[in-house]
Structure 1
């Protein structure tokens, strides 16, 4: 058998959002290079801030009334910064060589420093440097703890299931039509104009937690048998042929999953479903936001909100030419849509067959690869000669199934 490629094996698990499976200390290695995708996204934000300052002469975006051509271009930069940053992070994540990842991370660091000097949220360079340093520190900590691996997997999983998300949107049309009636309701707009953004976030978080708890608890029974005994299937050898675990033989008596691994498995299944439902809910909210921009005029807004609504909106410290009641109404409708879709995902057999069952099958295959990974690590440990004066090397006893995972 060939010598196992530990880096390739551990990267395989990290790409699939299971950092708890890899060896102790493996997460602390190559942290800078593994942080390159997140640093690429931050570099895009820094480059965007340079463009904003160069066009507007200000470090904040303050657009109200009828935007000029330049302000329209600034709005386009605001809309495109997140998709472009996501694309940059995805492209960098496809780099396999550790050295090339380090080079990409260094290039991103240069762009971030330039953003602090010529752009940034503050006119003071020192403040921008401190904020960027804190952000980079958070990225490195997330990478070293495995949180970044889980977030990266969740983003890739959501993007890969956009076709299924469109199908869920079609099946959710009844609630969309009902929400349409709620959208053109005077009392809803009056409440959106009066309630504070802090109270609205508390209400949305409350609804989100209820729906997420319902969605997670309903899938625990389907996940538990896989966690207890991820038995190999007949086609696993073919499905693992192109992976670092292709030449490792399945052996009985593998180490049971630790508590951290169990929590990791449950989290990625729950995060996958929540992300899928949230994607459809956000798409629904975006449709209503665009609809409101088309039909809600200042006189109509004044009539619905009884003069309490502002014609400009405040988002992430920016002032945009979007009515604030429209933003708050869209947020409420998005939360309601999320709750409905979370309940429907649990009872919809078509959703389970198209999304949940393949997800659980991939999870079972990943745990089979995990058992092979642990078996190979155990064999390499027992095969290593012990330090001593004896000329005959001794073999350390093999771990039992009850031993804690390394």
Structure 2
């Protein structure tokens, strides 16, 4: 088999979030070009820092009180930087040619270096270069280890199922309405004003671990039959048409899945569900944040927090004209919503039929292709 054919087979599995299936050493090859989508996202962040420094003359965003027109534009940049970074990564990920991917990665690296010189989180260029070098190193390690492949697949799967996410949001309206009562609770705001951000992150992490345990335990039960025997179906030949495996026949006695492959499959299915639930929880949190910006006034904030609340918020090193108790309350309600939706996803039959069952069927098809891939390698 030619090298392009082997590259096409390996890339097919990597795109589907199963790096454990490909040969050892395949993850390290072409790691620079395969890192191009993540580097594109980092390049957008670097370009954003250049724009922030050019407009404000500062390396950090510090906006309090009533923002000016320029500061309002900076706020818009802060809101849009992550969606634009995601869009840039998605566009680069659609590049099929390895050579063009390397070229795109090189262009992104140039933008990142320029961001260190003309922007960055610090006025010191050396500090910016060190921070950027660490970020690029993390991207390369994630790509070479296969973690980037799994996270990329989970992100694409979440974006392709936004319609299902909206349906989950509608079914979650009862808890959302109940959470509205929590939102207008004085003691919640008082706690949000007093608790430190470090303790709040610990509490959110604790809730996230519990909710993830719900999903993973349910995933293990649903995935176990597929892991034991991914039997080919009659329609698999048609569904694999146009892939590198369409001309390979199904053969009995395929190699059993290794422990890394089993862990990879479970992690992929769990990550996809976490991404789906997290999307709905973040959308709910955004609603509460906007609602707070509408109804919250200085006298009301003073009453709810008993004078302990700051009218300026701090997040990711930025000072924003958003009350800090509002940010913390939104974070808590988002975590609670995530925990509820994770538990509901385990028992919701409609969610399983619309999202989980098609997901498991795609995983089964990928494992059928894996058996063909392994059998074709044995015959060479």
Taking structure 1 as the reference length, the TM-score comes to 0.91
CA shift, 1:3, in A, is: 8.6
Render the CA deviation track for 1:289-312: whole Å, top value 9, x for unaligned: 000001000110000000000000
Distance 2:110 2:298 in 1: 45
C-alpha contact 1:17 1:152 (8 A) present in aligned 2:
yes
C-alpha contact 1:50 1:115 (8 A) present in aligned 2:
yes
Relative to 1, partners in 2 of residues 1:355 and 1:398: Cα closer, same or farther, differing over 3 Å? Answer: closer
CA shift, 1:396, in A, is: 14
CA shift, 1:219, in A, is: 2.3
CA shift, 1:214, in A, is: 1.2
CA shift, 1:134, in A, is: 1.0
Render the CA deviation track for 1:98-145: whole Å, top value 9, x for unaligned: 000010001111111111111001111111111111111111111111
CA shift, 1:344, in A, is: 1.0
C-alpha contact 2:288 2:330 (8 A) present in aligned 1:
yes
RMSD (Å), alpha carbons = 1.8
Question: Helix, strand or coil: the match of 1:112?
Answer: helix
Match of 1:123 in 2: 123
C-alpha contact 1:289 1:326 (8 A) present in aligned 2:
yes
Runs of 4 or more consecutive aligned structure 1 residues displaced over 4 Å after TM superposition = 1-4, 395-399
Distance 2:84 2:122 in 1: 23
Gapped runs of 5+ residues in structure 1? 374-394, 400-406
C-alpha contact 1:154 1:271 (8 A) present in aligned 2:
yes
CA shift, 1:346, in A, is: 1.1
Relative to 1, partners in 2 of residues 1:3 and 1:233: Cα closer, same or farther, differing over 3 Å? Answer: farther
Gapped runs of 5+ residues in structure 2? none
Question: Helix, strand or coil: the match of 1:26?
Answer: coil
C-alpha contact 2:186 2:305 (8 A) present in aligned 1:
yes
CA shift, 1:271, in A, is: 0.5
Question: Helix, strand or coil: the match of 1:5?
Answer: helix
Distance 2:327 2:3 in 1: 57
Distance 1:397 1:199 in 2: 53
C-alpha contact 2:34 2:101 (8 A) present in aligned 1:
yes
CA shift, 1:398, in A, is: 9.9
Question: Helix, strand or coil: the match of 2:314?
Answer: strand
Relative to 1, partners in 2 of residues 1:240 and 1:65: Cα closer, same or farther, differing over 3 Å? Answer: same
Q: Where in structure 2 are the equivalents of 1:165-244 lying within 5 Å?
A: 165-244=165-244
Relative to 1, partners in 2 of residues 1:188 and 1:3: Cα closer, same or farther, differing over 3 Å? Answer: closer
Relative to 1, partners in 2 of residues 1:7 and 1:304: Cα closer, same or farther, differing over 3 Å? Answer: same
User: Size of the alignment, in residue pairs?
Assistant: 378
C-alpha contact 1:4 1:244 (8 A) present in aligned 2:
no
Render the CA deviation track for 1:176-231: whole Å, top value 9, x for unaligned: 00000110010100010011111111111111111110121022111000001000
The structure number with the bigger radius of gyration is 1
Q: Where in structure 2 are the equivalents of 1:45-56 lying within 5 Å?
A: 45-56=45-56
Relative to 1, partners in 2 of residues 1:396 and 1:93: Cα closer, same or farther, differing over 3 Å? Answer: closer
Distance 1:3 1:218 in 2: 40
Distance 1:104 1:6 in 2: 23
Distance 2:112 2:3 in 1: 40
Distance 2:187 2:346 in 1: 32
Question: Helix, strand or coil: the match of 2:4?
Answer: coil
Distance 1:273 1:398 in 2: 33
